[in-house]
Structure 1
Amino acid sequence: MFALASGLIALRFLPALPSAGWLLLMLLAGLLLLVSRAWQVGLFVLGLSWACVQGQRALDDRLADSLDGRTLWIEGRVVGLPQHTGASVRFELQGAMSRHGTLPTTIRLSWYGGPPVNSGERWRLAVKLKKPRGLINPQGFDYQAWLLAQRIGATGVVKDGRLLMAASHAWRDGLRQRLLQIDANGRTPWLAALVMGDSSGLSRDDWALLQATGTVHLLVISGQHIGLFAGLIYGLIALMARYGVWPRVLPWLPWACGLAFAGATGYGALAGFEVPVQRACVMLGLVLIWRLRFRHLGVWLTFLLALNAVLLVEPLASLRPGLWLSFAAVAVLIFTFSARLGAWSWRAAWLRPQGLIALGLFPLLWILGLPISLTGPLANLMAVPWISLVVLPTALLGTLLLPVPALGENLLWLSGGLLDVLIQGLHLLGGVFNPWSPAVAPIYIWLLTALGVLLLLLPAGVALRPLGWPLVLLAVFAPREQIPHGQVEVLQLDVGQGLALVLRTRNHTLLYDAGPKVRNFDQGERVVVPALRSLGVGALDVMLLSHADADHAGGALAVQRAFSVGRVLGGDVPGLPEQLQAQPCVSGEGWEWDGVKFSLWQWADATDSNQKSCVLQVLAGTERLLLTGDIDARAEHALLKSSLAVPTRWLQSPHHGSKTSSSMAFLKALAPQAVLISRGHANNFGHPHPHVMARYQALGLQVWDSAEQGAVWFRLGANGKAESMRDQRRFWRD
């Protein structure tokens, strides 16, 4: 079972999938090994082969290149629960058809300013389709991997549409609409998330609270909810049998197992049977069978059977952090609770699990780049029993009794009030510590930390157990690579249609622009802040906002909330939020950090925000970098009369490669060797313009494009080459 699971999980780490010929050879080799003494290797190869077949099927179901970026009329049926946020709605369309070609099985769409969309409806839509893509940053969320794991073959924005057929058999959406009309002490969106898995009603502040307290898993239906509900049914029947209330003619154990599984699958149906819920139901079913018939086989075999069952049904689940975290949490509990010489007291059995899970999941959260809640164990110590024993039963019972309005609505009102009590307590805990994101460390440091965690999970009395603490503390005090004096590390983040660059000398950090904010998508919060934390940045010395446009300064407030910022400079201060307390960019101002020189320039005759962009020149050794914001050709002409008009190896492409910038005179005067372009894939502005790219090619410049290569980093002053996230091959990336 372990060999088979290892083969299925290995898909996650492949840089590329094998060709059809190699895949056939793998299958034959696996079958031959299966009947030999090396049958364990055969199971590994067969598991990997099956996972590769499913991975290739998902890749083949993506949007064709010929349809990428085109606007088409398509027809299809809405599935799942559409997520309404303000004036926009996000939903999934299945079985979509178009006369222009074959479309993927599932398409994820966004409609801004459109009418309400309900599950089960059939629509005819004009949609601009795109192949699945995502931003690629160090320790960032891999949206493209998530889409593949969901088997979503295209994304798109709806331009127009009309309803062809009303919803049919969409009982979940109807129940959700009914639930959202209930007065639940102001916590109706929370109840919808808890009962039906519909988290679209939760605000950004709600998510921040859950993340800060490590309780996200309690409000997003997962294996824990399924297990808790099943355990509640099982425990109730066991208690009735113990006190003689259960009918003697009915054997309590089979009935407890059967009703627990029925209740869990019913809850799963209410939640839409998403992949995490499917995974939980499979695992629960195997555990109940083990409890009923096969306890002599041991719990680890059941664990591996459940893992293999999930991965055989959906090998792409290994691309989602949820699989790793849920099975790891169960493994920690099995490892710490089973095979002990003495039983724990009821107090220890209640207090210890949350601390053990927090400790056991720490290395996994670290390597996955997920924040670690320092108040999580204490918050979960209160929240888990409160949700499982008080809030969830009343919420589910109230939902079940909605046909009896007075009873069902009152129960939901009570459940909302009970949930509000918990939320108020979480607010008190959430303000104590911010989530911690350990800086990225060498792999050997991570392995030593993981070893330390394993030692600490061993039973008391094991000889080497005390060595676990110093190994775990390596995560806090790990030696990190020092940037040499006179050099600066430059990281251009992949923020889509916007700009954000991190410049770090030996002892200082500067952020040039903070990424875009468009509607609810704040790349300062989603990309810039996590990237800075992964670099071990504790504070910013300077945040320089080239100008006030939202694609450059939109994420600034999120960055300022997350970090202490010594000084904020702006090229267009009146257009920036007052909370930033920005100071104006002054031409000629400069400073030196750790042997690296920084110089500012701004066109005095600028008339619009783009032209007011604050230009930054960085000199490290014999290398120069010029960050230009969104200046146009007229501002470039003015810059050529300044002291910054000197040979510059690295140039940030002005205005994302717009046709109004990167004039030939400007390029020839600076004579750059490499150009950095930060822009969104297939953006509406046509950046970079073909004429600009033709100039770059004519001059033989090396182009580093975030839309094609993801985040890019290099060491200024070392006269080396740049590297990009695309250099780290993954089979799901083009």
Structure 2
Amino acid sequence: MDRFCLLVVLSVVICLGVSTIPTSLQLGGALCVTLGLLSSCLVVTCSGVNHQLSSKVLQGCHALQVCLLCVTALLLYPFQLSTQLEHDAQLFQRVDSQPRAVLGEIVGLPKNSGAGWQFFFKTTTAQLGLSTAMESVLIDVRWYLPLVPDYGDVAADLQLPSLKEGQIWQLELSIKPVIATANPSQGWREGNLWLQGVLFSGQVRYRQQSTPAGITLLAQATQLQGAVSWRQQIADGFARCCASYTAYPLWLALTVGERPFSAQLWQGLRNAGLNHILSISGMHIALVFQWCLLLGYLIRWLPMGESLRVLLLWSCAGMVATGYAWLAGFAIPTQRALWTLLLLIVLGILRRRASSWSMHLLLTALMLLAWPALLVSVSFWFTVAALTLLIAMQWLQVKPAHWRGYLTAFFKAQLWFSVGLLPLSLWFFHGIAPWALLINLLLVPYIALLLFPALCLVAALQVLSSVWNISWMPQAWQLLDWLFTPLWQVLVALDGDNAWWSLPELEMPEIALICLLLYCACWWSHWHRWCSICIVLVLLWCGSDVTEPRVHIIDVGQGSATLLQVGRHGALLDAGPALGDWSATEQIILPYLQYYRINQLDWVLLSHDDADHTGNLQVLRQRYPALQLYADFRSDAKPCQQLPHRWQGFDLQMLWPKNQQHSDNESSCVVSVKHQQMQWLVPGDLGAAEHTLLAKQPDLRTHVLVLGHHGSKNSSSIGWLQQLKPTIALASAGRLNRFGHPSIDVQARLQLLQIPLLSTADDGAIVFTQQGAGWHYQAYRQQRYPRWLEKLSQDAVSQHRNR
């Protein structure tokens, strides 16, 4: 059984690396043939024993059975995965892009991002017109305040309703496949939502309606029956009593599984290496289960047999652990923990034993076969790796004789975890947290043995206080906030670039070599160990810095942001879009700068005063207080014409406007960026003024043209393209944006002139890198794995556009 499960896991790893998955028909046929041959071998073996066949024949049949079982194990998971992919592809083909009224229920706790609500909406395929079957479908819904077309600002006289889990609404939605930006500094949102069963996204529509006071905008939404869930009521109760405390976000994460963390707090968690302990995982479920088992000492006096007492105790502990997992929203790590506890309870009741390794393999294989999408879950693979290390350490563990031995064992365990999980950290996050080992040594016992039990106790008392009035609850929360203060201060102190070692240049062979050297260092002699560590440090240093000049077209959605980079110096042309309290500057650009270890942002140029270009300059100034701003429409900035003519080897030329103080599209600052023989042209939202610019610059040429106004039909005229003669055109636009950028007209002009087009909507972030005397570019979406999941998303987007 262990080998069978191990081969299932191996087939999952193979699926991660391949570009395409065979069809379910092909895999099903191969699986049927294999099972048929296996059945025949079993029949021959059984009949051969009765008829006393020769030992060689029986040995051959047995060997063939083993081979067929291995083939079966290798085919099972790809078959399950292919079946799910084909099912999802059929749903994408049937969905209609026209707005429709959808009846459904809010599941999960809705999130208010400042710009509006985001929540999961559970409905059926019949409601979406996909089929007559009542199959459940989850939609990622956004309910934002509408933009006033004339001003582009959020309508101030409109208010959003209070949304709660469990409410039933009828919403008019614009349905489209799940879309997201694609940058190396971001997680894969499409993959994460696919993991949760979310295939579609939708936005609540508004319509104009005439009233005595004038024309107003009304949301096409109606609330029907539906009770607010208990989980929502518990979360609301916590918000009412303790939202004012500093540690409230951490409490919410450890009680109901929601993490309303700021970008700075997320960065502090990553840099401290405490993500695993400040999100409800298997460790927390196991702690709750163990605490309940301790109650066994309190029920010894009950008049019942030992077997019945064990059954009662384990069943109650399992129910409490299940309740805690439900409160956490049944996150992926909690589900694995529940399956493990269920198996332990069954084995305990039956008084059977199984090795830790066998249980680990069996649960991993069963979860992957039952839930094929788990292969894209980062937390799942970290959990599998951590349990594998834990089992390996059990084999090497010697029972300590005194307290110093326990401290030494704890230090070695943390060191093993740090080294063992390093490959996953380098692969998924392209970086390491140098302070993580020390922070985990100090804070993991503090959190697990003091903070988490204290929080569970106070939270339980808060729930009971709704029945019995407990007058000293405010003092209890205040004391708990004081206990969490050291943890909070550590997370705030680690919000910095020096606490995270980003390694964007490391490739897979280098990662494998680093891991091999570190593992060998644990076993080699003294001087061999230090030699291997020195080699690892050299490899990490080589992978940390970007030395050659680069030009980045960042995928900020429906907006624009171009980054010039030389080493750790950067310069930014436009700062991406902003909507309400949300901005791509904070959520996308700032992590992008940190990913490429840009410690000094010298200047920012804002081409014109549009929200999809100006972003949130304040967050950039907080991180880079010395940056210089260039813009023609701000009093705190220098005019665009004062942009330096040379920066870090790049030649910069301001082509447009000439002595104009306007902020409209036609007055966009047009910049020519040149490095040796390579040239880029960034025209902002320039449109009709292209002809005037061409008349003033008759000899203007470029190699790379960023399409004006994101590729709208009123820009990038045929004359403009003919004179510039670009070898490649780029469009910075959002995926499935409502404007249709880049427009069909512009695409036709580019095709007529045989100019290839790249778009951040389809290709993600695009990076130009100098190699020797030439330059080459890489599109991020073309590098992401698994490739077949990226293809599924691209096919869904293409089908939606064709409608």
Identify the TM-score tier after normalising by the shorter chain. Answer: 0.7 to 0.9
> For each residue in 1:165-188, what CA deviation from the matched residue of structure 2 results, as whole angstroms up to 9, or x when unmatched?
322482222333333322476255
Of all paired residues, the percent bearing the same amino acid is: 26
Q: Supply the distance in 1 between the matched residues of 2:714 and 2:32 (Cα, whole angstroms).
A: 59
Residue 270 (structure 1) shift: 2.3
Name the counterpart of 1:79.
107
Match of 1:36 in 2: 65
Alignment of 1:265-280 (within 5 A): 265-280=322-337
Distance 2:481 2:671 in 1: 51
Shift in Å, 1:80 = 2.2
Give 1:500's aligned residue: 561
Q: Which deviates further from its counterpart, 129-138 or 421-430?
A: 421-430
- Secondary structure at 1:700 match in 2: coil
Q: Give secondary structure in 2 for the equivalent of 1:265.
A: helix
Which deviations, in whole Å up to 9, do the C-alpha atoms of 1:75-107 show, x marking residues without a partner? 112222222344622221222466772277111
Check conservation: 1:287, 1:302, Cα contact below 8 A: no
Alignment RMSD (CA, Å): 3.6
**Is the contact made by 2:102 and 2:123 (CA closer than 8 Å) also made in structure 1?**
no
2 CA distance for matches of 1:266 and 1:328?
26
- CA, structure 1 residues 470+567, in 2 after alignment: closer, same or farther (shift >3 Å)? same
Could you tell me how far apart the structure 2 residues matched to 1:379 and 1:541 are? 33
Counterpart CA distance in 2 for 1:177 and 1:543 is: 42
Task: Choose which of 361, 375, 391 in structure 1 pairs with 2:454.
Answer: 391
Displacement of 1:570 in angstroms is 1.9
Alignment of 1:175-214 (within 5 A): 175-183=234-242, 186=245, 187-200=247-260, 202-214=261-273
Deviates more, 1:4-13 or 1:335-344: 335-344
Counterparts of 2:477 and 2:406 in 1: how far apart (Å)? Answer: 27
Instruction: Note if contact 2:654-2:670 (Cα within 8 Å) is conserved in structure 1.
Output: yes
Q: Which residue of 1 is the match for residue 503 of structure 2?
A: 438
Do structure 1's residue 670 and structure 2's residue 724 form an aligned pair?
yes
Q: Is the 8 A contact 2:105 2:169 kept in 1?
A: yes
The 2-side partners of 1:22 and 1:419 are apart by 58
State whether residues 182 and 780 of structure 2, in contact with CA within 8 Å, keep that contact through their aligned partners in structure 1.
yes
Q: Does 1:216 align with 2:246?
A: no
| Residue aligning to 1:90 | 118
Distance 1:26 1:132 in 2: 33
For 1:650, the equivalent position in structure 2 comes to 704
- 1:16 aligned onto 2:20: yes
Please say if residues 268 and 491 of structure 2, whose CA atoms lie closer than 8 Å, have aligned partners that are also in contact.
Answer: no
Q: Is the 8 A contact 2:568 2:600 kept in 1?
A: no
Q: Distance in 2 between matches of 1:184 and 1:541?
A: 39
> 1:335 maps to what in 2?
392
Displacement of 1:462 in angstroms is 9.4
Give the CA deviation at 1:678. 0.3
Q: How does 1:186-585 map to 2 (within 5 A)?
A: 186=245, 187-200=247-260, 202-234=261-293, 236-237=294-295, 250=306, 257-286=314-343, 297-341=354-398, 343=400, 345-369=405-429, 372-389=432-449, 390-407=453-470, 410=472, 414-415=476-477, 417-428=479-490, 430-432=492-494, 434=496, 435-436=499-500, 437-456=502-521, 466=530, 468-478=532-542, 488-505=549-566, 509-562=570-623, 564=624, 567-572=627-632, 574=634, 582-585=637-640
What whole-Å deviation, never above 9, does each CA across 1:416-445 have from its counterpart, x for those lacking one?
631443144432453156341222312221
Partner of 1:661: 715
The whole-number CA distance in structure 2 between the counterparts of 1:584 and 1:410 is: 60
Aligned length, in residue pairs:
715
1:398 Cα offset (Å): 2.0
Higher relative contact order (CA 8 A, sep 6+): 2
Compute the displacement of 1:677 (Å): 0.3
How far residue 446 of structure 1 moved from its aligned partner, in angstroms, is 0.5
When residues 87 and 98 of structure 1 are mapped into structure 2, their CA distance, relative to the original with a 3 A threshold, is: farther
Classify the secondary structure of the residue corresponding to 1:107: strand
Secondary structure, in 3 states, of the residue corresponding to 2:165? coil
Shift in Å at residue 285 of structure 1? 3.3
Gaps of 5+ in 1: none
Q: Which stretch of structure 1 is more off in the superposition, 501-510 or 434-443?
A: 501-510
Q: What is the distance in 1 between the residues matched to 2:573 and 2:590?
A: 13
Question: Given that residues 26 and 49 in structure 1 are in contact (C-alpha distance below 8 angstroms), is that contact kept between their aligned partners in structure 2?
Answer: no
Could you tell me how far apart the structure 2 residues matched to 1:543 and 1:52 are?
Answer: 47
2:683 corresponds in structure 1 to: 628
Query: CA 1:279–1:497 in 2, change beyond 3 Å: closer, same or farther?
Result: same
| Aligned position for 1:132 | 178
Cα distance change of structure 1 residues 530 and 589 upon mapping to structure 2, 3 Å threshold: closer
**Normalising to structure 2: TM-score of the pair?**
0.79
In 2, the alpha carbon distance for the partners of 1:703 and 1:349 equals 58
Of 323-332 and 284-293, the range deviating more from structure 2: 284-293
Local SS of the residue matching 2:65 = coil
C-alpha separation in 1, matches of 2:567 and 2:115: 46
Q: How far 1:574 sits from its partner (Å)?
A: 0.8
Shift of 1:394: 0.9
Pairing 1:52-201 to 2, within 5 Å after superposition: 52-62=82-92, 64=93, 67-68=96-97, 70-86=98-114, 88-96=116-124, 101-102=129-130, 105-112=137-144, 113-159=159-205, 160-168=219-227, 170-183=229-242, 186=245, 187-200=247-260
Closer, same or farther: CA 256–322 of 1 in aligned 2, 3 Å: same
Match of 1:617 among 635, 657, 672: 672
CA positional deviation for 1:680: 0.7
Evaluate the alpha carbon distance shift between residue 419 and residue 438 of structure 1 in structure 2; reply closer, same or farther with a 3 A threshold: farther
* Secondary structure in structure 1 of the residue aligned to 2:469: helix
Mean CA deviation greater in 536-545 or 127-136: 536-545
CA distance 1:290–1:502, change in 2 (3 Å): farther
Q: Distance in 2 between matches of 1:673 and 1:184?
A: 55
Decide which structure has the larger Cα Rg and report it.
2
Task: Label 1:192 to 1:466 Cα distance change in 2 as closer, same or farther (>3 A).
Answer: same
Deviation, structure 1 residue 157: 1.0
Question: 2:148 corresponds to which residue?
Answer: none
Task: Give the 3 Å change call, closer, same or farther, for CA 382–250 of structure 1 in structure 2.
Answer: farther
Residue 651 of structure 1: CA displacement?
Answer: 0.7
Counterpart residue identity of residue 383, structure 2: S
Residues 566 and 663 of structure 1, relative CA distance in 2, 3 Å threshold: farther
Q: After superposition, what is the alpha-carbon deviation per residue over 1:562-608, rounded to whole angstroms, capped at 9, x for unaligned?
A: 5x576434233617xx5xxx5432268411644x5332333123522
Report if aligned partners of 2:569, 2:599 keep a CA contact under 8 Å in 1: no
Does the CA-based 8 Å contact 1:440-1:536 persist in structure 2?
Answer: no
With over 3 angstroms needed to count, the CA separation of the structure-2 counterparts of 1:97 and 1:315, relative to structure 1, is closer
Residue identity in the other structure for 1:95: T
Q: Which runs of 5+ in 2 are unaligned?
A: 39-63, 145-158, 206-218, 795-803
Find out whether 1:725 has 2:780 as its counterpart: yes
Distance 1:411 1:448, change over 3 A: farther
> Are the aligned partners of 1:497 and 1:683 in contact in 2 as well (CA < 8 Å)?
yes
- What amino acid is aligned across from residue 37 of structure 1 in structure 2? V
Q: TM-score, normalised by structure 1?
A: 0.86
- 8 Å contact from structure 2 (residues 166, 226) kept in 1: yes
1:228-263 residue CA offsets vs partner (Å, 9 max, x unmatched): 2123333x257779xx98999536876664443332
Residue 674 (structure 1) shift = 1.7
Residue 762 of structure 2: SS of its match in structure 1?
Answer: helix
CA apart distance, 1:681: 1.9
Tell me the amino acid that sits aligned with residue 110 of structure 2. Answer: P
Equivalent residue number for residue 59 of structure 2: none
The CA deviation at 1:322 is 0.9
Q: Distance in 1 between matches of 2:130 and 2:109?
A: 25
